[in-house]
Structure 1
């Protein structure tokens, strides 16, 4: 993936810098637009996302339109040579619509219809809401299709949530009919409805999960989540229909999310499926920097994992940071301001992992309501000499220097598997430790062994190709979907290396337990049979000893496995699994498959993956010597390589560049060689 990508728009060949701009909130303040023009130039802000919640300003009454304010914003952007990412306003509807058409309001899982308010409080199935959104979107496309500032459509905002109204219930039943070939027998088998005598004999008996109804049929819960994802995507496709018709050359995106503050992928929707329908992936990044439960470097690893996931959703194509904060948010439990240098460092980290933008929520703080104290580039005093504004302007200057990096991608030979549906199923499983499943944390722990060695990683889903990678790691793949086992067998047989862990291959895609032994479809390629999983209390550990006699700790989970062609690389030293394999290796065709039968400490992962890295000849993107807490990442366009060296610690660090090699600092044009000193939160972007 080292070839240059074609930009999604011919004018998006620079790093985009700017953010969420809400002039519709300032229509009674005529001097604000003039002030913003001046400040945008000072901040080197070249791109603004507008109209995200502008429906009531565009259409204050049904059929009464006020586009003049948006015309002015678009024209001002064009006059200063700026870009506009124009949003469709469906993320929040005007009050007149809720009053006149109450069916557009969502019904909760408790079957009570919501009142007007909040965001995304609308039914994705409602024909009225679909008609209304298509109408306003068509008007936007007709009015601005040829506008020189328009470079991208921002569809709605942070899609999420579900509706349980009768329209959605009927849509769910129709979705189930398609999935199960109109056969209730197939549905009843897939959901195992003999449990608690829940067998259905009419489609009309099926309802979505409810707190006062059904919530313990895991197949139902899983299919509801799938339906909600598909219905959300279907609504999105309805939204973009007039845009595709009238502006076929303007790409579309919608901003995906991460779960905060845990820095895991957002689990409410299946973004792997959603990404197939956007031209460019974008996401909203709000890491809790300077928190009190992990080091800055540990959080940086977690952020890197999510960045790599969103880059990988389009096969390595660069993505956009659609929202981040230049300082703090207003919704963390503790809202810490970014320390000096952290904004530049965190921005460079996103760029290093494949972003072609740093865009903010928000450009200017609002005066009222829930986000008036959320971080922004421009504070209530409108001063350009604040600490935050100065740091944003510094990032703006740097991004101008990084224009050559746009379109370049990351060449990874290692892949970590993350699966949204597996996350849903594992979270719903009633077993294991209630607080220790931590699927994403487990993926991030395996990812850490490569991030700390500066080895590029893609974070892929089970539906993506495996054969481009030398090593594929699938932690806790509890649910193995039909056909995946065969794909793994083909991959390993042809020479690939595959790593699985405890709790793998326990259920199929309907969340039915595999018969005939775990790990289900992967049993043959792994050469083992898993018998049972023991869950440990938080204070418990078990000793693991490898073939060299080194001792390690396992915690949370230990699995009892039997060899069926594989050989043991490490063994448990005590308890009911004493003498049983803790790690196995199985030669299969030209490749090898490994099974890690417990949640082992980081020291073991370092040793285990260290050997695989050596055997496979995996190399860092750039071979500098760096202390712990410093991350080195690279992007390449196939001809030029760009190196990002980032210090995620609170002390000065020294990085030793390769002997005889030199880098050119992209910010200053200075030549870098020998020892590179990075201050706390210091970072350098350079070309080889």
Structure 2
């Protein structure tokens, strides 16, 4: 099957309604439990018979948020059931062949963390626009290698050049396909493939690029670029395949939190969960710090810094997991609108941020979603972040309960109230950002937290150079250098000698990388 859930990710027919009821019976066991979870006493929605429960179809007004959330869970599980049914047949016929299906990056309707254990290898489709910055493609690569605990993945689909489904479809400029392919390798891929081999003569994708174009021969730029990449991958295979990335920083991502936080009747329709994750990933990528994306209940033992934007939903055990991480000496950062609800989207009573209150050392009296023309400032009067920074989107009335205010709001009725706090908890520290800070502030904050957590960049390199490392089973390190700029750059190397895996030359002290070019070095 191809791209489960793409184009049509939900169905509301009678068969799905019957299957949804069975799914709910397995989850809640009784109608009483379902009624409590969904809060059906509100608006007189109490259910007395399973047959009365329906999908969240079109209704006169807002659907029950618990019902909507569970239906999103059910639809992801239903697609997974379809995959598992097909996979069982294949395993019976070809038990020796690994089974996969192509994911679509951060595709909201399908919980890829729930799917990952059922795939032998993760595979992904990647179709970024030409204007997408390097960090925005890298975060998807990091998500893919994180889904199965760092196991290498496969880039199943990318376009050799242009696509055919945007409003305008320019070609990838010379070198971009190669750099993006190497970026996947740099972040944990073991294989690079294309859609498609031969360009169709007819049909909906006849103008989608292919390795073999409508000309039908090898005498063109697109074919030659693909052939060059293929030759290089063959050359790299023995030294790269099976090696793994290694990160000391994790960003927490939870598909169920994503679904819940973007329920239409939320406090602000400007809250976009994946965009917030990207906002905090971007400065880490700019520092050339390796990042894993993990579920909130993952084992955090091997990490020094954990970032958890918009952790609105706390499923069972998550708060305790974060407490144990910080107690052991970890650095945690979370943000506004966190710790608000449980796994059923029921508000945690007793004050925000619920189960995170002790860990963060704060009490949020109220939150204030801003309109687009509302802004404020964060004032930091001492320390490495000294300065005044604009902030947008959200404000909160925060009271300190053991935490210390690093920055305060400049204006409005919470002027001089905490906007950025830190709380010593055990051997570690927990940070809280009560608003949407500027990119400048977040870049400085990420740099500071990395320093406090003793997390260093892979290497210090010029702006626009991306560097990662993969560690082989024998402990030797493979360095990937990607030049995303339009000019050559010189990169200083660590002490020691290196072998270029692309030309076989020995390299030491420094290396020059041409514009939109790559280098792959094996430490000797």
Q: Could you tell me the TM-score, scaled by structure 2's length?
A: 0.95
1:213/1:541 CA distance change after superposition, 3 Å: closer
For 1:440, the equivalent position in structure 2 comes to 274
1:165/1:433 CA distance change after superposition, 3 Å: closer
For 1:8, the equivalent position in structure 2 comes to none
Separation in 2, partners of 1:531, 1:672: 59
Aligned length, in residue pairs: 515
- Residues 508-519 of structure 1: pairs in structure 2 closer than 5 A: 508-519=342-353
- Residues 110-121 of structure 1: pairs in structure 2 closer than 5 A: none
For 1:590, the equivalent position in structure 2 comes to 427
Q: Which one of the candidate residues 620, 623, 643 is aligned to 2:457?
A: 620
Query: Is 1:535 matched up with 2:369?
Result: yes
Does structure 1 conserve the Cα–Cα contact (< 8 Å) formed by 2:406 and 2:422? yes
Does structure 2 conserve the Cα–Cα contact (< 8 Å) formed by 1:543 and 1:554? yes
1:406/1:334 CA distance change after superposition, 3 Å: same
CA apart distance, 1:450: 1.5
For 1:677, the equivalent position in structure 2 comes to 512
Does structure 1 conserve the Cα–Cα contact (< 8 Å) formed by 2:312 and 2:340? yes
Separation in 2, partners of 1:571, 1:165: 51
For 2:167, the equivalent position in structure 1 comes to 333
Which has the larger Rg?
A: 1
CA apart distance, 1:609: 2.1
Q: Which one of the candidate residues 377, 384, 396 is aligned to 2:218?
A: 384
Q: Which one of the candidate residues 393, 397, 409 is aligned to 2:244?
A: 409
For 2:490, the equivalent position in structure 1 comes to 654
Separation in 1, partners of 2:363, 2:135: 33
Query: Is 1:566 matched up with 2:403?
Result: yes
For 1:59, the equivalent position in structure 2 comes to none
Residues 358-378 of structure 1: CA distance to partner in whole angstroms, max 9, x if unpaired? 111100011111011111100
Residues 562-611 of structure 1: CA distance to partner in whole angstroms, max 9, x if unpaired? 11111111111221111111111111122211111111012112222222
CA apart distance, 1:550: 1.7
For 1:643, the equivalent position in structure 2 comes to 479
**Superposed CA RMSD:** 1.7
Q: Which one of the candidate residues 72, 76, 79 is aligned to 1:232?
A: 79
Does structure 2 conserve the Cα–Cα contact (< 8 Å) formed by 1:215 and 1:221? no
For residue 349 of structure 1, give the secondary structure of its aligned residue in structure 2. helix
Separation in 1, partners of 2:134, 2:328: 35
- Residues 310-389 of structure 1: pairs in structure 2 closer than 5 A: 310-389=144-223
1:236/1:215 CA distance change after superposition, 3 Å: farther
Moved beyond 6 Å, runs of 4+: none
Separation in 2, partners of 1:303, 1:663: 28
- Residues 421-440 of structure 1: pairs in structure 2 closer than 5 A: 421-434=256-269, 436-440=270-274
Name structure 2 gaps, 5 residues minimum.
none
CA apart distance, 1:308: 0.6
Q: Which one of the candidate residues 311, 314, 318 is aligned to 1:477?
A: 311
Q: Which one of the candidate residues 66, 86, 91 is aligned to 1:244?
A: 91
Separation in 2, partners of 1:539, 1:209: 34
CA apart distance, 1:426: 1.1
Query: Is 1:157 matched up with 2:2?
Result: yes
Separation in 1, partners of 2:381, 2:120: 49
Separation in 2, partners of 1:577, 1:626: 41
For 1:634, the equivalent position in structure 2 comes to 469
Separation in 2, partners of 1:533, 1:508: 18
Query: Is 1:493 matched up with 2:327?
Result: yes
Q: Could you tell me the TM-score, scaled by structure 1's length?
A: 0.73
1:336/1:231 CA distance change after superposition, 3 Å: same
Does structure 2 conserve the Cα–Cα contact (< 8 Å) formed by 1:493 and 1:588? yes
Residues 537-582 of structure 1: CA distance to partner in whole angstroms, max 9, x if unpaired? 3344311122414211111112221111111111112211111111
- Residues 99-178 of structure 1: pairs in structure 2 closer than 5 A: 156-160=1-5, 161-178=9-26
Does structure 2 conserve the Cα–Cα contact (< 8 Å) formed by 1:209 and 1:215? no
For residue 356 of structure 1, give the secondary structure of its aligned residue in structure 2. strand
Query: Is 1:667 matched up with 2:502?
Result: yes
For 1:6, the equivalent position in structure 2 comes to none
Separation in 1, partners of 2:424, 2:59: 51
Residues 470-528 of structure 1: CA distance to partner in whole angstroms, max 9, x if unpaired? 11110011111122111111222222221110111111111111111111111111111
CA apart distance, 1:674: 4.1
1:174/1:328 CA distance change after superposition, 3 Å: same
